[in-house]
Amino acid sequence: MAPPPGGLVVAFDSDPRSLDPRFQTDANGARLGDLLHVALTRADPTGRRVPELARSWTMEDRRTVVFHLRPDFRFADGTAVTAADVKATYDAVRDPALASPKRTALAALSAIDTPDATTVVMHLTDASASFLDATGLGILPAARAREADDVTTGAGPFRLVSVVRGDRLVLAPNPHYPDGPPRLDPLVIRIVPDETVRVLELRRGGIHLLEDAPEPEMVTWLAAAPTLVVRRAPGTSFVYLALNLRDPRLADRRVREAIALAVDRDGLVRYVLGGAARPATGLLAPEHWAYAPAPARRHDPRRARRLLARAGYPSRGRGTPRFRLVYKTSAQPLRRRLAEAVQADLANVGIAVDVRVYEWGTLYADVRSGNFEMASLAWVGVTDPDLYYLAFHSTMVPPAGYNRGAYVSRVTDRLTSAGRRTFDPLERRTIYARVQRRLAHDVPIVPLWWEDRIAVHTRRLRGFEPSPSGDLRSLATARLD
Amino acid sequence: MGTLPGRRLVLLLPTVLGVVTLVFAFLHLLPGDPVEIMLGDWAAPADAVALRRDLGLDRPLAAQYVRFVGHAARGDFGQSIAFRAPVARVIADRYPATVELAIAALLLAVGGAVPLGVLAAVWRGRALDRIVRLVSLAGVCLPSFWLGPVLMFAFAMRLDWLPVSGRGGLAHLVLPAATLALGMGGILVRLTRASVLAALGEDYVRTARAKGAPRWRAVGVHALRNALVPVVTVLGLQAGALLAGAVITETIFAWPGIGRLVVQAIQARDYPLVQGCVLVIGVTYVAINTAADVLVRAIDPRLAEPV
């Protein structure tokens, strides 16, 4: 179907599962949710919370946050967004009867008061420095906040017009959007699962914007088209090798450091990703407010071999590995190429790697249950550094959290616990700088890269800015010439 | 229920129940938890427990199975875990697209294969016969995941005659239908050719010719009618393959059908949706084959008589 005149067609690889902020859990749902709903706060590219529906907020004490709302936001049906809508949405999510997957994120919230239409007072059960991260919840009209079915009415820049599952979603400007209704009318989201087809459609003009980075060689092909422009921006998605420290070989820090030294990160970025990433030193990208530079571990196979020998794995002659590791990965082509490259790098220091490719659901189940030795994984959408607690504190082994490698360090435990109780930004920054240095020393995971955001779009699209997290919010101010 | 469709309906129940039971068993053998996949990395364990309870996934497998079959018997396939909508509604949204694609592919395959098979048989050994055999062999051998992108590149990108992907008007239907039809058409061409060749050597065709029937009549009426019996039978079986082939073709051409839905549902471990899709595909398969049997008996009434 030809793109509608004045409208923009964006391609997604799969349907968003839910457009209701109470139930959104997938990346595509979140990207569209951003366009349909407004939240009290949103994350800026540095990971800091910035005002959206709340024009400001203050901490009355360590357990009380007062939000002052903008009075000019209106839902797509024209009714004003008030403190009552905020309270109703948060209360609905906290209600176990609704079975919202976001309920636990609001566990620190004990009560909400609304002294007037533009003031929301949130009372916390315990001091939680990361609580503001939970205020990115999209607000629904109070009258509909407890409906069991999906509610898509929001006060974001766009409103939902129609959904044809598996095919397309059509959005139109919210005429009441206070910063001025968007000029893209309609905004069509087409679901095109095959990457090659998305690229062909873009080249032929069937779609206007591709925000998910295609394979590097396809980007080169698209860049040659005179009607298209390739945009690159530093991204925050972090790709790493997860190591299972329950394995006695990987429990030895020297072995883990040897693996980190054996992997040629610069080579991976150059040859596997076509340069579309930055070699990573840790979870947080350099743009993040809490980022602290950690000592870079340069590719050094010689030192890796020495460390392995010292750890009790001496060279056993050409062709005989020191030991074997199983490397689990998803079937995504890029991840498979990464596995082959890591396999070659580790073979170079005498570690044989058996690559096992799994469908995502199987890989995820194995990683969660600790049934892996080494696996390639990614963190997407990191905002608050409290993730260090969830991913590296010794009590956060699944199912409690995300410490999948069962890493244990008393120093990291102490620091990450302090980080979540500290409100002063400078103090928090100091704590997380120490966490980052500690993790760089202990190597519980092997950081690989921060993926760049690559967007390809028609030259007619003006005002679109690819964001580090991949959100599409700048479409609210973009236009099609 | 002595009629053929009636007997088939009786057979349909154990067939579908068997398929659903197998799918239920295999789905639950797969590693992976729908709740964890659905909630992703950011969900807390307490949420996962609550959602698992809400979806009834915390009950014993046997209880889940009995509950599913009991509800399905009443036409309630439950709620899709991934889409948060009734399974029947999710399938109803996607099923028409698959039916549209399958009918178009079927028409293309039969409309092309039967005449070409007859012509190849009539002109056996000549250039047309050789070309038809070669093309049909290619049709059978070429996988749709290769053929689809090639057709797309040639007719949409290079020649600019047809849209690349998506569902819309008739033009959108051509490439996915042709991709699906080519494999099926290849088999049908070869089968039609062989059947017509066999029929042409039969006494009744020779008699018809001896009695002065023109050649077209001897071939088109006498030989073809008998040759069509195995063709229609295979057509029924191939229609099932068409539904399976739709999984790949629908993914390549961004066709919003049930084939793609099954893949999505399996990836999300959306048990109710997978089971609902399998049920619908199973029923469709049996219905098509029942129709094929009825058609075969209409073509050759001898087959309707008990031996």
pLDDT tens, N- to C-terminus, chain A (481 residues)? 555 667 999 999 888 888 999 988 788 888 999 999 999 999 888 888 999 999 999 988 888 999 999 999 999 999 999 999 999 999 999 998 887 878 878 888 999 999 999 999 999 988 788 888 889 999 999 999 999 888 999 999 999 999 988 899 999 999 999 989 999 999 999 999 888 899 999 999 999 999 876 778 888 889 999 999 999 888 888 999 999 999 999 999 999 999 999 999 999 999 888 888 999 999 999 999 999 998 778 899 999 999 999 999 998 887 799 999 999 999 888 899 999 999 999 999 999 999 999 988 788 889 988 999 999 999 987 888 999 999 999 999 987 788 999 999 999 999 999 998 888 889 999 999 999 999 999 999 999 999 998 999 999 999 999 888 888 999 999 999 8
Determine which of A201, A202, A358, A402 to mutate to test the interface with B (most B C-beta atoms within 10 Å): A201
Q: In this complex, is the C-beta atom of B264 within 8 Å of any C-beta atom belonging to chain A?
A: yes
- Contacts A365 to B, Cβ<8 Å: 31-33, 36
Mutate to test the interface with A, among B28, B33, B47 (most CBs of A within 10 A): B47
Cβ(A36)–Cβ(A138) below 8 Å: yes
Residues A64 and A148: their CA atoms lie apart, in Å, by 30
pLDDT at B307: 44
Q: Measured between alpha carbons, how far is A55 from A75 in angstroms, rounded to an integer? A: 17
CA distance A186 to chain B (A): 18
End-to-end alpha carbon distance in chain A: 20
When CB atoms are compared, the residue of B31, B50, B165 closest to A366 is B31
ipTM of the predicted assembly exceeds 0.90: no
A204: nearest CB among B157, B256, B268: B157
- Residue pointed to by tokens 């930055």: A278
Inter-chain residue contact A165 with B93, CB threshold 8 Å: yes
Q: Read off the pLDDT of each residue in B197-222 and give the average, rounded to a whole number.
A: 80
Nearest to A230, CA basis, from A214, A243, A241, A244: A214
Q: Which residues of A touch B168 (CB under 8 A)?
A: 1
Q: How many interface pairs between A and B have CB atoms less than 8 angstroms apart?
A: 136
Share of chain B above pLDDT 70, in %: 91
| A359–B264 C-beta distance less than 8 A | no
B217 and B199 Cβ atoms separated by less than 8 Å: no
Please give the structure tokens belonging to residue B146. 């290769």
Tell whether B153 lies on the interface with A, counting CB pairs under 8 A: yes
Q: Map tokens 């080519």 to a residue.
A: B182
Number of H helices, E strands in chain A: 12, 21
Integer CA distances (angstroms), B67 to A78, A167, B77, B154, B298, in order:
44, 32, 10, 50, 42
Give the mean model confidence (pLDDT) for residues B283-299: 81
pLDDT at B41: 59
**Mean predicted confidence (pLDDT) in B216-225:** 78
Portion 44-83 of B in contact with A at CB < 8 A: 44-48, 50-51, 54, 82-83
Q: Do B254 and A103 touch (CB under 8 A)?
A: no
- Alpha-carbon distance of B306 to A426, in angstroms, equals 91
Q: How far is residue B282's CA from residue B21's CA, in Å, rounded to a whole number?
A: 12
Instruction: Give me the pLDDT at residue A317, please.
Output: 80
The number of beta carbons lying within 10 Å of the beta carbon of residue B270 is 27
Residue count (chain A): 481
Measured between alpha carbons, how far is A5 from A2 in angstroms, rounded to an integer?
9
Residue A256 CA to residue A262 CA, distance in Å, equals 10
Q: Which residues of A touch B83 (CB under 8 A)?
A: 15, 17-18, 165
The reply to whether residue B40 touches residue A23, judged by beta carbons under 8 angstroms, is: no
Interface touch B54/A103, C-beta < 8 Å: no
Name the residue among A9, A167, A354 with its Cα closest to residue B256.
A167
Bridging pattern class, strands A158-164 and A479-480 = unpaired
Interface check for B258 against chain A (CB to CB < 8 A): the answer is no
How far is B249 from chain A, CA to nearest CA, in Å?
10
Instruction: Measure A188 CA to nearest chain B CA, in Å.
Output: 13
Look at A103 and B47 and tell me if their CB atoms are within 8 Å: yes
Q: Which two tokens stand for residue B219?
A: 């071939």
Chain A residue closest in CA terms to B82: A17
A359 contacts in chain B (CB < 8 Å):
267
Q: What phi and psi values does residue A290 have, to the nearest 5 degrees?
A: -100, 5
Query: Between β-strands A374-379 and A323-330, what pairing exists: parallel, antiparallel or unpaired?
Result: parallel
Helix (H, G, I), strand (E, B) or coil at A158: strand
The whole-number pLDDT of residue B7 equals 72
Nearest CA of chain B to the CA of A232: how many Å? Answer: 26
Predicted confidence at residue A83, as pLDDT, reads 97
